Amino acid sequence: MNVTRIDVTSERRRYTVLIGADLLSTLPALLDEHKLSGSLLVVSCPPVWRLHGKRLKGLADDAPILIPDGERAKRLPTVSRIYEVMVERRLDRAASLVAFGGGVVGDVGGFAAATYLRGIRLIQIPTTLLAQVDSAIGGKVGVNLRAGKNLVGAFHPPSLVLCDPAVLRTLPRREFRAGLYEVVKYGVIRSRPIFDRLQSSLPAIFAHDPQVLTPIIAECCQIKADVVSADERESGPRRVLNFGHTIGHALEAVTKYRRFRHGEAIGYGMLAAAHISVARGSLSRDDESALKALITQMGPLPVVGDLSIREALDAISLDKKVIRGRLHFVLAKGLGDTVIVDDVTTRELRAAMRAVGLRS
């Protein structure tokens, strides 16, 4: 078995990310190796548990906590339910929570782990492409409020992250595609070679060719690890990971997390950020066209023509990237480089959202 190992440095601990096909077949041994055996609580969701629960069979003595699937479950009442089970099972600080699912399971389970008894160990086993390349690494955990996404949360680095590309074969095409938009993000912010490989290898990627897909996942994980090791709490360099997220999060909020997969909203957010980048002269029209073509080639995005720019601007005003009244916004400088600015105007945001199809 070929396994890629990436070490991530955080303020609290150094932890390992492992990437490899059929990695979960050796799960008990991996937990023993990393001294994570013992009292375990598994948090998952019904679709993932139905398809892959047997991979974790015998890992924990008790049944898993299954939370609803989807972004609407990412809220405080869901976390409270996990707390109640933790208390019922008398989990102590030596216990570990295993988040086995996509980004929502990882964020909700991670937030429960971060806050129960002021913090217990967390093991991330992401089962979506988006979670494997992005959300499972870096220690950001949290939930949404009605006003906006991830407004309540914590930094709680996991003790171990296990990415098994084999589980991605059961993802619906739309869910898999949603993860690819985050891969595009990595290409834009740090790696033109990843962007170019996406352009040339989409059929093989959608076919889950391990020779193509696994190295891309590993490279994205390495980029994320490098960024968060340098700036765990997003005080500066880590902000590059928010490329496309400001307007993307606004689209999720104004549709009450019902219309978009997270990656789809980020797809629109990247197009809008590219529009502002071109208008400011930091990105060429050729590179913007390449980004548009790649996103279009991946498949259709949900419609946005009925969404109000004004409502989206209201959501942006509550974004956690607004600091002391100034919005920190990531612009592209070519494909593979970015610049962070704090002077994007409402007029520019409005023009960018109009360009991607929102109504005035």
* Residue 242 falls in the annotated catalytic set: yes
* Residue 219 falls in the annotated catalytic set: no
* Residue 234 falls in the annotated catalytic set: yes
* Residue 182 falls in the annotated catalytic set: yes
Among candidate residues 90, 118, 146, 324, the one labeled active-site is: 118
Among candidate residues 74, 121, 224, 275, the one labeled active-site is: 224
Among candidate residues 71, 175, 232, 234, the one labeled active-site is: 234
* Residue 224 falls in the annotated catalytic set: yes
* Residue 208 falls in the annotated catalytic set: no
Among candidate residues 52, 55, 121, 140, the one labeled active-site is: 140
Among candidate residues 197, 262, 321, 328, the one labeled active-site is: 262
Q: How is residue 127 written in tokens?
A: 């089962």
Among candidate residues 182, 219, 252, 264, the one labeled active-site is: 182
Q: Looking at beta carbons, which pairs linking 202-207 to residues 24 or more positions away fall under 8 Å?
A: 202/297, 202/298, 205/180, 206/173, 206/176
Among candidate residues 156, 185, 242, 252, the one labeled active-site is: 242
* Residue 34 falls in the annotated catalytic set: no
* Residue 185 falls in the annotated catalytic set: no
* Residue 118 falls in the annotated catalytic set: yes
Among candidate residues 55, 149, 249, 275, the one labeled active-site is: 249
Among candidate residues 238, 275, 321, 328, the one labeled active-site is: 238
* Residue 311 falls in the annotated catalytic set: no
Kindly list the catalytic residues: 118, 140, 182, 224, 234, 238, 242, 245, 249, 262
